[in-house]
Amino acid sequence: MVVFGMLTQVSWSPYIAGAGIGLLSCLALVLADRPLGCSTAFVKARGLIGKMINAEKTERMAYYRDIVPRVDWAFMIIPGIIIGALLSSLLSGTFHVTWVPALWGSVFGNNVVLRVGAALIGGILLGIGARWAGGCTSGHGISGSIQLSLASMITATCFFIGGIIVAMLLYRVIGVGLA
Amino acid sequence: MTSLAWIRNNRRTQIVLGFTIGICFGFLLQKSGVTDYGVIENQLLLVDFTVLKMMLSAVIVGMIVFQILKQWGFANLHAAHGTLGSNVIGGLIFGAGFALLGYCPGTVAGAVGTGALDALFGGMVGMLIGVGIFAGFYPSLKDGILSQGPFPVVTVPEFLRLNPWITIFILEVCMVGFLLLLEYAGL
């Protein structure tokens, strides 16, 4: 009953959930001998799409020889995350379909095209940046830091420096100008 | 140890394992609150510190557990030799995308699971386009900017010239101290 009560809670303390993610990252390093990262899956998915469109060209590309496009451990993380978050939000009754996040809407309005356009450009930068730096918030920020990697700690710091600058520009400069 | 090697090398087991670990990861991400656009954006605006609390808690626990597992031979080090051109420039490009999208590569998938369609049609589609662009430019970036300014060492204990456990102790004190300060400040 106690366990079920926890599963249906809207949220957990970030310290408890974070500790669980720390243990999960260690489990991944033991059972898969790989850091728990998310951006590799997007390379594999993009490579698989590329192979459907033009197999010959995709197979010639050096990057897809380094990160082979196939359904494997790293690929399955993303469908897993979607299902896990879906389960969690259904159990707590917080699942709901939205196009525009409330905070974005309160400053930039509820225009779906504007929000999806911004998200698309953000997603493109995120994809380029993650592969440029060789990992993302989980791969570098958590799994890399756990392993005492100097490059990972520097990278994670840069994620937040870049993020804080652009978020401040968006909400404290452009957003204020709009109001 | 032989059964561990079997698990790591069995393709079908790894696919099931990746999916299972992903489900647990997505569940914990959603429960911690970081699959929400507002939580991430407010972290970057330095209003809500949920993202840092979750990440530092993960590192505080994982750092000690990983070191023990490594010493017992259950885990290997997977840290690459970084460079300024790759890690700093890439990190800053990532940060810009992080703020504009309001999700990172893992939480964007988590947000899709909670019903956020901007995460699906904007974020995930954008990610696929972005990694495709990077793959296209990879041959010219690889020996160019990505290898500029290599860091002198791979790990923090090597950098500080300290024993790994002493390094961990110092880092743990700093992280716990920072979190206590946040709580004390009411953030």
- Residue range A106-115, pLDDT digits in tens: 999 999 999 9
Residues of chain B positioned with their CB less than 8 A from the CB of A24: 21, 24-25, 28
pLDDT at A61 over 60: yes
**B187 shares contact with chain A (CB less than 8 Å):** no
Mean pLDDT is lowest, of A3-7, A38-42, A81-85, A140-144, for A3-7
Contact A99, A166 (CB under 8 A): no
CA distances (Å), A22 to each of A35, A86, A130, A131, in order?
Answer: 11, 21, 21, 23
Encode pLDDT of B80-100 as tens digits.
899 999 999 999 999 999 999
Encode pLDDT of A7-54 as tens digits.
999 999 999 999 999 999 999 999 999 999 999 999 999 999 999 999
pTM of the full structure = 0.97
Q: Give the closest-approach CA distance of A102 to chain B in angstroms.
A: 7
CB atoms A132 and B19 under 8 Å: no
**B149 shares contact with chain A (CB less than 8 Å):** no
Backbone angles phi, psi at A111, to 5 degrees: -70, 115
Give me chain A's average pLDDT, please: 96
Mean pLDDT is lowest, of A74-88, A91-105, B1-15, for B1-15
Q: Which residues 155-184 of B have a C-beta within 8 angstroms of A?
A: 155-159, 164, 167-168, 171, 179
DSSP B15-41: HHHHHHHHHHHHHHHHHHTTTSHHHHH
Low-confidence stretches of chain B (pLDDT beneath 50): none
**B15 shares contact with chain A (CB less than 8 Å):** yes
What is the predicted pLDDT for the residue at B1? 56
**Residue where the block lists tokens 């954008």:** B126
Rounded CA-CA distance A162/B92 in Å is 5
What ipTM score was computed for the predicted complex, to two decimals?
Answer: 0.97
Rounded CA-CA distance B148/B139 in Å is 15
Read off the pLDDT band of A3 (50, 70, 90).
confident
What is the predicted pLDDT for the residue at A1? 63
**Is residue A144 exposed (0-12), middle (13-18) or buried (19+ Cβ within 10 Å)?**
buried
